[in-house]
Amino acid sequence: MSLLQVKNVSKHFGSLIAVNNISMTVKPGELRAIIGPNGAGKTTFFNLITGFFRPTAGRIIFEGRDVTELSPARRVWCGMARTFQVTEVFPELTVRENLRIAVEVASGMRLRPWLSQIDDEKIRGRVRELIDMSGLAAKADRQVGELSHGDQRATEIMMALALNPRLLLLDEPTAGMGDQETYEITQLIRRLQKESKLTIVLIEHDMRVVFHLADRIMVLDQGKFLAEGTPPEIAANEAVQTAYLGQAA
């Protein structure tokens, strides 16, 4: 039983084919990495899965349900959450406030004009939990916009987590980070997979992270599917090596 089934999905922008007939099946609890040279269509692929665009062709099935026509917000309600390549958070609000909003929305309280004492406590509790899990406790009351890159990314991941998703999509979570921060985020992601039993799909360029975390890897090149398999299989795959080395030239 798969969690996510992407069936023959394509995306055309006029005459530009960004994603060309790609399929992917992800099992529950799996950590799948999507890699490929720049311009391979990875982010566009993500955008199709999360509803940022409609595909030109193909279907997206999540937990057995066809979500191809659903808006991004509805897909979130179905259990998908994502982070972006350029961190998307609420910059002028504090970490705590960012998380609070995520938790409230996830609890179905977004339209509430007031909160009972009990609900308020529950929400605060959940926010505290998330803050502790992220290691941002010391900075929880600072404006997110003023934090370091890595902390902003961690906040964003926590916000995605606050939504109680069953599928977490991370777009280049370690982009722009130094070694230490990369290590911390990698550990965080690993913890999420193991402890929260999340299914995770991530786009990454940093091969250390990919080979450290992934159960399976899918390789894209110029919008087309190139290869898929376990990390050892992919490492040995000649077509993959050519794609990467060819690009480097």
Q: Are 79 and 165 in contact (CB under 8 A)?
A: yes
49 or 234, CB closer to another protein? 49
Judged by CB under 8 A, which stretch of 104-112, 194-202, 203-211, 240-248 contacts another protein? 104-112
Binding mask 143-182 for another protein (x = CB under 8 A): -------------x--x---x-------------------
Cα separation of 9 and 23, whole Å?
A: 6
**Cα angle at 199 between 236 and 94, to 5 degrees?**
115
Nearest to 173 by CA among 74, 31, 73, 39: 31
Within positions 181 to 200, which residues make up the interface with another protein, using CB under 8 A? none
Within positions 114 to 133, which residues make up the interface with another protein, using CB under 8 A? 114-115
When asked if residue 32 is in the footprint of another protein (CB under 8 A), the reply is: no
Within positions 40 to 99, which residues make up the interface with another protein, using CB under 8 A? 50, 71-74, 76-77, 81-82, 84, 88-93, 97
216's enclosing H/E stretch is strand 216-221
Adjacent-strand bridge partners of 153: none
Burial 59-83 (b: 16+ CB within 10 A, else e): ebbbbeeebbebeeeebbeebbbbb
Q: Which of 101, 183, 211, 222 binds another protein (CB under 8 A)?
A: 101
What is the contact surface with another protein in residues (CB under 8 A)?
50, 71-74, 76-77, 81-82, 84, 88-93, 97, 100-102, 104-106, 109-115, 156, 159, 163
